[in-house]
Amino acid sequence: MEMLNNLLLGFSVALSPFNILMCLVGVLLGTLIGVLPGVGPVATIAMLLPITFNLNPIGALIMLAGIYYGAQYGGSTTAILVNLPGESSSVVTCIDGYQMARRGRAGPALATAALVSFFAGCVATLIVAMFAPPLAEVALKFGPAEYFSLMVLGLVAAVVLAHGSLIKAIAMVVLGLLLGLIGTDVNSGVLRFAFGISELADGIGFVVVAMGMFGIAEIVTNLEHTGQREVFTKKVTHLWPTKEDFRRLIPAALRGTFLGAALGILPGGGALLASFGAYTLEKKVSKYAHEFGQGAIEGVAAPESANNAGAQTSFIPLLTLGIPSNAVMALMIGAMMIQGIAPGPQVMNERPQLFWGMIASMWVGNLMLVVLNLPLIGMWIKLLTVPYRLLYPSILLFMGIGVFSLSNNPFDVLIMAFFGLLGYICVKLECEPAPMILGFILGPLMEENLRRAMLLSRGDPLVFFQKPISASFLVVAIILLAIIAAPNIRKKRQEVFVEET
Amino acid sequence: MRINSEKDFWAGLMFMGFGLAFMLIAIGPPAFLVELGGRAGWKIEYGYQMGTAVRMGPAYFPTLLGGLLAVLGLIVFLRSFVSKLPKAATEVRMSFNVVDLAIGIAIYAVLAWASKRVLGNADWGMMGASVVLAVLAFAFRPKAKPLVLVIASCMVFAYLLKPLGLVLSSILLVFVAALGGHEYRTKEVAILAVALAVFSVLVFVKALTLPFPIWPEFLQ
């Protein structure tokens, strides 16, 4: 009953004209960048962050959230029609979606992606509404030791997701943690690693790092590839799937949704892990396993429902623990802090309008997406024909404006350029930037909680294993590491990531 | 010893470099380095307080992490000699080499230092260095053009935004960035540049009221 009241409160907030508009702007932008390959939600949200200074907190967060789950819808369109992932989470949709398009079934594939995404979005909204409050209750009892161990778990989970070498991913996390420490030390007031540069006193802005590592590095690597992309320009007709399609896609969508929702909650999880997991599971359990890779509709339904569900449930750790599970959520934390909201379990009690308004807006946004996107597919296809040579200068300009407006200081752009170079080198050396970004955000938080926990335990490091919740987090982290280090799993993991590239 | 994996070799070196640098700065560099730096007019800090496990000083956590990173880097580095992956997967396909990187950093350092001496701040030196690098890339490293020009376009934009205003600096950014691509068509780029300049003035300055000058300083 209480949940119903809360949701009603949420809808009363989300359905105000201004917030509806914000939601619409968010999901449209999200779809747009989802459709365009080479432009991701991280860079887009980072670009838009300065603009949200002038908005009210609820509107700003509703819009930014819309961009993230909107991108999951848009990504599938590109995957199906061009065989290119518009979004990293739609990588697996390419496999069967594109095959469907080649057999003249692009319409049903697109409709399937939109419909299952909507279904998954609805279920995931309910899951967030159900699980966030009790989790926030638990989180209120967390001490510094629990928080520290939780962050360790989150970072380990991020490593599991990284491509390629495990050690390199861990090293990237540690590098991120270190870079996050640059600036004034909160406890002692000492300026660390600043080389006497006054602009570094407040540390390096997360937005600047994200734009460099993801934005600039991505543009440069895209420019180095000379590959041509071919758009499936044949007119898309017969959107609606057949009865037989529905019979096959419904169970796949159900499995995808629940697996995706579960994987989204994990720290370090989110849409990407969800879509991979769902596709692999579907391949295992489906009766039509032999059709996979040749245009099986389950191969579209499962990952598409999973990535949308995962995108939404990844808000749970953010809203309840104040801990970001991926780079997008880290930006959301940035957005909340800009608005003067400290993310954490207290948000739900102190600002119920914000909390429930955001959850309700996710459902509203999903409805908008499915209603708008099916008729707008023609327009999105047109967009795909815009050549990249016109696209990237525009992206660069918006990034430049976004970064500059953070502090009105060209120094931030210099830092962005530095991280662009670092990001480029990392890509070339096969070191994933995503774990580094997560480490970067968690660096100061981790140090703070480590210090407090050690102070409380009088310097006894065993405290992390004596508290039951903290100990269980660490045990899970160790098990995760042991699992990926195990030889046969390692082989399998390599195969999965090879398939992707 | 043969390097079997170039990627691991360089990645390991990079991680070790970062880890040791952070550790060195946190603990404090050896005295002779501080003295050397002092003579060159660069005041090097003596490191931060370590503290104890109960009361951690500002050096504690960074030293711990720096050490960990250096060890991880060493493992990756050593692994590069025993790697059994096929050559295609381990070859580094970078558009520049280590010497180029060092030259680039040196150009930035020298010009920034010179402009700080002469003009009082490093801004013009930073921008100048980007332009110099862009020219060098055109002449000697055409493959590195995307990287160098994309970065140069951002730098030019950032350092010229205040003196030149949003319109001119965004047009400059678009042109420099477009030069870094494969196909450069002057007419098309010009149209794009003007359209984007108009768009950003309308959206960012007029609608979102960001405090950017629109026209050059000397016109106002």
- B58 found inside a domain: yes
Is A326 a residue whose pLDDT tops 80? no
User: pLDDT confidence of A177, banded at 50, 70, 90?
Assistant: very high
> What integer best gives the mean pLDDT of chain A?
82
Taking CB atoms and an 8 Å cutoff, what residues of chain A touch B26? Answer: 192-193
What does the buried/exposed string (b/e) look like for A233-271 if buried means 16 or more CB atoms within 10 Å of the residue's CB? Answer: eeebeebebeeebbebbebbbbbbbbbbbbbbbbbbbbb
How many angstroms away from the CA of A404 is the closest CA of chain B? 7
> Do B79 and B106 fall within a single domain?
no
> Do B136 and B215 fall within a single domain?
yes
* pLDDT, position A89: 74
Report, as an integer, the average pLDDT of A464-482: 87
The answer to whether B151 contacts A420, with C-beta atoms less than 8 Å apart, is: yes
Report, as an integer, the average pLDDT of A175-185: 89
**Which of A36-40, A127-131, A264-268, B36-40 is modeled with the greatest confidence?**
A127-131
The answer to whether B158 contacts A420, with C-beta atoms less than 8 Å apart, is: no
The answer to whether B69 contacts A396, with C-beta atoms less than 8 Å apart, is: no
The answer to whether B69 contacts A178, with C-beta atoms less than 8 Å apart, is: yes
Condensed to tens digits (0 to 9), the pLDDT of residues A7-51 reads 888 888 888 899 899 999 899 888 888 887 767 777 778 777 777
Cα dihedral A399, A405, A411, A416, rounded to 10, equals: -20
How far, rounded to the nearest angstrom, does the alpha carbon of residue A229 sit from its chain's CA centroid? 26
Angle at A54 between CA A335 and CA A370, to 5 degrees: 65
Condensed to tens digits (0 to 9), the pLDDT of residues A212-256 reads 888 888 888 888 876 555 555 555 667 777 788 888 888 888 888
Cα dihedral A176, A140, A160, A461, rounded to 10, equals: 70
Q: Which of B90, B106, B127 is the last residue of a domain?
A: B90
> Do B106 and B213 fall within a single domain?
yes
Condensed to tens digits (0 to 9), the pLDDT of residues A388-424 reads 788 888 888 888 888 888 778 888 888 998 999 999 9
CA distance A230 to A436: 34
Q: Which of A50-54, A184-188, A333-337, B108-112 has the lowest mean pLDDT?
A: A50-54
Is A171 a residue whose pLDDT tops 90? yes
User: pLDDT confidence of A261, banded at 50, 70, 90?
Assistant: confident
How many residues are listed for chain A in this entry?
Answer: 501
* pLDDT, position A498: 47
Residue A192, φ and ψ in degrees, nearest 5 = -105, 140
Is A178 a residue whose pLDDT tops 90? yes
The answer to whether A226 contacts B15, with C-beta atoms less than 8 Å apart, is: no
Is A137 a residue whose pLDDT tops 80? yes
Which residues form the domain of B28?
6-90
CB of B192 within 8 Å of a chain A CB? The answer is yes
**Which of A170-179, A321-330, A385-394, B177-186 is modeled with the greatest confidence?**
A170-179
Is B169 a residue whose pLDDT tops 80? yes
CA distance A154 to A141: 19
Is B46 a residue whose pLDDT tops 70? no
**Half-sphere exposure of A268 toward its Cβ, with a 13 Å CA cutoff?**
20
> Do B134 and B104 fall within a single domain?
yes
* pLDDT, position A281: 82
Condensed to tens digits (0 to 9), the pLDDT of residues B65-116 reads 999 999 999 999 998 888 777 777 777 777 788 888 888 888 888 888 888 8
> Do B24 and B54 fall within a single domain?
yes
The answer to whether A51 contacts B208, with C-beta atoms less than 8 Å apart, is: yes
Question: In chain A, which residue's Cα lies nearest the Cα of B69?
Answer: A171
CA distance A4 to B92: 56
CB A438 within 8 A of CB A180: no
* pLDDT, position A207: 80
Strand partners, A192: A183
Taking CB atoms and an 8 Å cutoff, what residues of chain A touch B177? Answer: 392-393, 396-397
User: pLDDT confidence of A322, banded at 50, 70, 90?
Assistant: confident
Among positive and negative, which fits the CA dihedral A396, A416, A23, A261?
A: positive
How many angstroms away from the CA of B1 is the closest CA of chain A? 21
- B1 found inside a domain: no
Report, as an integer, the average pLDDT of A54-83: 84
Q: DSSP readout, chain B?
A: ---S-HHHHHHHHHHHHHHHHHHHHHH---HHHHHHHHHTT---------B-SSSB-TTHHHHHHHHHHHHHHHHHHHHHHH--S-HHHH----SS-HHHHHHHHHHHHHHHHHHHHHHSSSHHHHHHHHHHHHHHHHHH-GGGHHHHHHHHHHHHHHHHHHHHHHHHHHHHHHHHHHHTSS---HHHHHHHHHHHHHHHIIIIIIIS-----SS-GGG-
Condensed to tens digits (0 to 9), the pLDDT of residues A305-315 reads 988 888 888 88
pLDDT over 70 percentage in chain A = 91
Question: In chain A, which residue's Cα lies nearest the Cα of B13?
Answer: A429
Report, as an integer, the average pLDDT of A250-268: 83
The answer to whether A54 contacts B147, with C-beta atoms less than 8 Å apart, is: no
pTM, two decimal places: 0.83
State how many domains chain B has: 2
Token match 């830092």: residue? A415
The answer to whether B155 contacts A393, with C-beta atoms less than 8 Å apart, is: no
Q: Hey, which residues 76-135 in chain B have their CB within 8 Å of chain A?
A: 76, 79, 92-95, 123, 126, 130
- B116 found inside a domain: yes
- B168 found inside a domain: yes
Helices then strands (H, E): number in chain A?
A: 23, 2
Q: Which of B28, B58, B90 is the last residue of a domain?
A: B90
How many angstroms away from the CA of A19 is the closest CA of chain B? 17
* pLDDT, position A295: 78
Report, as an integer, the average pLDDT of A44-63: 81
> Do B215 and B106 fall within a single domain?
yes
Q: Which of B49, B69, B153 sits opposite A396 (nearest CB)?
A: B153
Q: Which of B69, B90, B111 is the last residue of a domain?
A: B90
Taking CB atoms and an 8 Å cutoff, what residues of chain A touch B130? Answer: 417
CA distance A302 to A112: 10
- Residue A241 is classified by DSSP as P
Is B135 a residue whose pLDDT tops 60? yes
Cα dihedral A153, A159, A161, A165, rounded to 10, equals: -160
Higher pLDDT: A107 or A1? It is A107
* pLDDT, position B19: 93
**Which of A171-185, A318-332, B75-89 is modeled with the greatest confidence?**
A171-185
